[in-house]
Structure 1
C-alpha cells in the first residue's frame, strides 16, 4: 500500500465548460463568488425596529375626499 494516498480524489467546485480562462480570470471569478456568498442580506429580524426609526410614523395620512373634507383636514388626529 502506498503511503501517499489519502483518499478519493476531491471533486472540483467549478468546472470550465467552454473556452480557456487564464489564472487571473479564474481568480477574479472565485473572488466575486466568494464575496457574493459572504455578503450580508440585510438586517436580522431578531430585534424589533425602534419607533423612533419608523419612517411610516412620519408619513402624512391618506387624503379622504368628501363633503367638507377641507374643513376636517385641519382637525387634530
Structure 2
C-alpha cells in the first residue's frame, strides 16, 4: 500500500484549500527543462575585472592587486 502524498495533521481545511495545496505541490514536483543559458559576448564579460578577496598574511598586500 502506498503512502498518501499529503496528510492533514491540524485544522479542518475545506475541499478547495486541500485542492489548492495539492495543485501547488503537484506543480512543484514537475521537473522542468533547464532554462536556456544566456550567452554574453566576450566584450561585455566583466568577470576578468573581479579579483579574489584579500587574504591575511605576510606580504599578502602585494598579491592583492594581481588577478587570481
TM-score, scaled to structure 2 = 0.49
Q: Which has the larger radius of gyration?
A: 1
TM-score, scaled to structure 1 = 0.45
Work out which structure has the larger RCO, using CA pairs closer than 8 Å and 6 or more positions apart in sequence.
Answer: 2
